[in-house]
């Protein structure tokens, strides 16, 4: 029951912190280092970063501050951290294709829904029988790799539709 409570609390935390990270880069006068953690433009990629960054922060809090010790913790957090952006992309582009445009209320709902699903999947994995230690170590590697991908592609974005800022027409951190 303790694990479920923390995963539900994580839904609130990730949704709130992710939402705040949408504005943090501007609030901090476009400080370049903040760009590694917060959205630097209006591209889909930068919005995915909001969920991933907040999820990783929550995972650290859960593990260190709350001392939530469960055998499948790293596997659960890795799957959750990868699942949320996949769901956001899938839901966003599906509804945008159907409607022909996006709506802020649906965009926010998709973000929150992806967080809820990601946290529930995380919970389900944490309560499973213990998995291989090698799988947990691989999960840690995947989490670090995901974070590094968001950092690198913020500063060196590929010219691909996920990285295109639909508002400015640019990529990455723009002047």
% of the chain beyond a pLDDT of 70: 94
* For range 74-96, the mean pLDDT: 96
71 lies in some domain: yes
Give tens-digit pLDDT for 21-49. 888 777 777 766 677 778 888 889 999 99
Q: Give the pair of three-digit tokens for residue 108.
A: 């926010």
60 lies in some domain: yes
Closest to 50 in 3D by CA, of 68, 75, 25, 27: 25
The confidence band for 167, taking pLDDT boundaries of 50, 70 and 90, is: confident
pLDDT of residue 146 exceeding 90, the answer is yes
Q: What is the pLDDT of residue 15?
A: 96
47 lies in some domain: yes
Q: What is the pLDDT of residue 33?
A: 63
SS (H, E, C) 78-146: HHHHHHHHHHHHHHHHHHHHHHCCCCHHHHHHHHHHHHHHHHHHHHHHHCCCCCCHHHHHHHHHHHHHH
Residue that wins the pLDDT comparison between 106 and 27: 106
Q: What's the structural domain count of the chain?
A: 1
The confidence band for 11, taking pLDDT boundaries of 50, 70 and 90, is: very high
Closest to 15 in 3D by CA, of 47, 51, 42, 41: 51
Domain that holds residue 78: 2-163
Give tens-digit pLDDT for 117-126. 999 999 999 9
pLDDT of residue 171 exceeding 80, the answer is yes
Q: How many residues appear in the chain?
A: 175
* Distance (Å, whole) CA 9 – CA 168: 36
175 lies in some domain: no
Q: What is the pLDDT of residue 60?
A: 93
172 lies in some domain: no
Angle formed by the axes of helices 104-126 and 73-99, to 10°?
150
Q: What is the pLDDT of residue 143?
A: 96
User: Cβ(52)–Cβ(81) under 8 Å?
Assistant: yes
170 lies in some domain: no
168 lies in some domain: no
173 lies in some domain: no
């Amino acid at each position: 029951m303790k694990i479920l409570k923390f995963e539900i609390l994580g839904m609130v935390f990730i949704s709130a912190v992710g939402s705040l990270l949408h504005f943090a880069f501007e609030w901090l006068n476009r400080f370049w280092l903040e760009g590694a953690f917060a959205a630097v433009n209006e591209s889909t990629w930068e919005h995915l970063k909001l969920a991933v960054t907040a999820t990783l922060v929550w995972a650290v809090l859960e593990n260190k501050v709350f001392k939530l010790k469960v055998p499948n913790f790293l596997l659960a957090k890795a799957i959750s951290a990868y699942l949320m952006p996949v769901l956001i992309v899938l839901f966003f582009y599906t509804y945008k294709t159907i409607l022909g445009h996006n709506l802020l209320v649906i965009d926010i709902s998709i973000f929150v829904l992806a967080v809820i699903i990601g946290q529930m999947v995380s919970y389900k994995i944490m309560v499973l029988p213990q998995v291989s230690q090698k799988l947990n170590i691989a999960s840690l590697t995947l989490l670090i790799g995901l974070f590094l991908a968001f950092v690198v592609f913020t500063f060196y974005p590929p010219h691909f539709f996920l990285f295109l800022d639909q508002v400015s027409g640019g990529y990455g951190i723009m002047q």
